[in-house]
Amino acid sequence: MKKSYLMTPGPTPVPTDVLLAGAKDVIHHRAPAFTKLLLDVTEKLKWVLQTKNTVLIINSSGTGAMESAVVNLFSPGDRVLVISTGNFGERFAKISNNYGLDVVKLEYEWGTAAVPADVERELDKDPSIKGVMVTHSETSTGVNNDIKEIARITNSHNTALIVDAISGLGASDLKTDEWGVDVVVAGSQKALMTPPGISFVSISDRAWKMVEESKLPKFYFDYKAARKMLENDSPQTPFTPAITLLVQLSSSLQMIMDDGLENLFARHAMLAKASRAAVKALGLKLLCDEKVASNSVTPILPPEGIEAGKVIKGMREDFGVTLVGGQGKLEGKIFRIGHCGYFEKLDIILTIAALEMTLKKLGYKFELGSGIKAAEEVFTL
Ligand SMILES: *Cc1c(COP(=O)(O)O)cnc(C)c1O
């Protein structure tokens, strides 16, 4: 027998109530019950996105929602500034490139955050830039970018800001309307505690004007078609939606709403802080500076002479704990503990306990229990 623990930044564990919500009879998407469900989920998403903007639900993982933002807002040859602080910033650049946009890339060393003053300089220098893409929580490096300040800059330049908040939404604050973020892209399977398969996007009035002018081809991801169906007397989606996932998302968002945003962010911040404290107490290095560390995931460098892959393998095989490795140029160099979504204090304690035993088996010298102690100290502050 093996018990397993999914300690990854997506997919993440799904609460039992949410799993059971998915076991109900499938309803029909042209029936009144579906309209009720769609309106319910849309209102809840607006709450977690802190927005009054239109929110559309898309059948795809998060990357599909990223692609949808590109094809709906832009035309071939449009110049965009893509801020890249890791693998997912790179992904936005690739999608934009593949659709023939003129991509100006603002790249940062992996493990560091974007510098808003650089964004300001680029926009001052080049008024033809129509949109800026940035990652909220860069899951590959564990860095949180300063969306509030970047939004202040894009607004002062009347440029659209598109934020990939796929792992950040529901883990750290993102005030879509107050900060003035035009498009936010998010997905079901990270902090929102729902199985993978659906994503969503919020679209501001400024972004809708761009949608009207956009000339890139689109069909399945057409925002205008989706908005038309949503604004019907009996709102629906253009195509068959992932009905069961919507039922589950309604249930998970209700749990999140019952907690409140403040508690939600505070819990994530505490889990992240305890993870970092434990890792440091074990004498391991964090990939990024704690001042810019994300609430969603903690990337860690293995001890000298021990491969990251061995740590991940040991955790999985001996303890049933799933962690993830590095992506892109960090492949093989780090391992990451995910803590966005349905996680609590003891999930971190058991992960650190398994990590200690794994490291000991791999020959690393340290005092057993020192990581757990550091985490417990954070939890009992
Ligand atoms: C997970 C993730 C994605 C990609 O999402 P998929 O659901 O795998 O398509 C994109 N951006 C960020 C920041 C992510 O964490």
Q: Which tokens hold the place of 94?
A: 């690739």
**Helices of type H across 82-168:** 87-98, 116-125, 147-156
Ligand 1 within 6 A of CB of 8: no
Closest atom of ligand 1 to 64 CA is 9
Contact 302, 311 (CB under 8 A): yes
| Element housing 266 (H / E) | helix 261-281
**Which pLDDT does position 1 carry in this prediction?**
79
* Cα separation values, 346 from 5, 12, 265, 334, 379, Å: 12, 16, 18, 23, 10
CA of 262 to the centre of ligand 1 (A): 24
Task: State which residues of the chain have pLDDT below 50.
Answer: none
**Helices of type H across 295-344:** 308-319
**Half-sphere exposure of 130 toward its Cβ, with a 13 Å CA cutoff?**
19
Nearest to 50 by CA among 186, 144, 156: 186
Distance CA 197, CA 130 (A): 30
For residue 338, which phi and psi values (nearest 5 degrees)? -90, 140
Closest atom of ligand 1 to 65 CA is 9
**Which pLDDT does position 2 carry in this prediction?**
83
CA of 166 to the centre of ligand 1 (A): 6
| Element housing 356 (H / E) | helix 345-361
* 167, 199, 295, 327: residue to mutate for ligand 1 pocket, most atoms within 8 A of CB: 167
Ligand 1 within 6 A of CB of 88: yes
Domains of the chain: 5-10+260-379 (3.90.1150.10), 16-258 (3.40.640.10)
Ligand 1 within 6 A of CB of 135: yes
Cβ atoms within 10 Å of 31's Cβ, excluding its own: 12
**Which pLDDT does position 36 carry in this prediction?**
98
3-state secondary structure of 94: helix
CA of 63 to the centre of ligand 1 (A): 6
Sign of the torsion formed by the C-alpha atoms of 343, 344, 347 and 351: positive
**Which pLDDT does position 315 carry in this prediction?**
98
Q: What residues form DSSP beta bridges with 106?
A: 83
* 59, 83, 166: residue to mutate for ligand 1 pocket, most atoms within 8 A of CB: 166
Ligand 1 within 6 A of CB of 166: yes
Distance CA 308, CA 250 (A): 37
Q: Which tokens hold the place of 251?
A: 């249930």
DSSP state of 283: T
Ligand 1 within 6 A of CB of 197: no
Ligand 1 within 6 A of CB of 371: no
For 80-139, what is each residue's pLDDT tens digit? 999 999 999 999 999 999 999 999 999 999 999 999 999 999 999 999 999 999 999 999
Distance CA 51, CA 180 (A): 10
Ligand 1 within 6 A of CB of 139: yes
CA of 88 to the centre of ligand 1 (A): 7
Ligand 1 within 6 A of CB of 51: no
Contact 131, 163 (CB under 8 A): no
Distance CA 141, CA 135 (A): 11
CA of 67 to the centre of ligand 1 (A): 12
Distance CA 341, CA 169 (A): 10
Which residues lie closer than 8 Å to 60 by C-beta, 6 or more apart?
Answer: 67, 68, 197, 198, 199
For 198-239, what is each residue's pLDDT tens digit? 999 999 999 999 999 999 999 999 999 999 999 999 999 999
Ligand 1 within 6 A of CB of 92: no
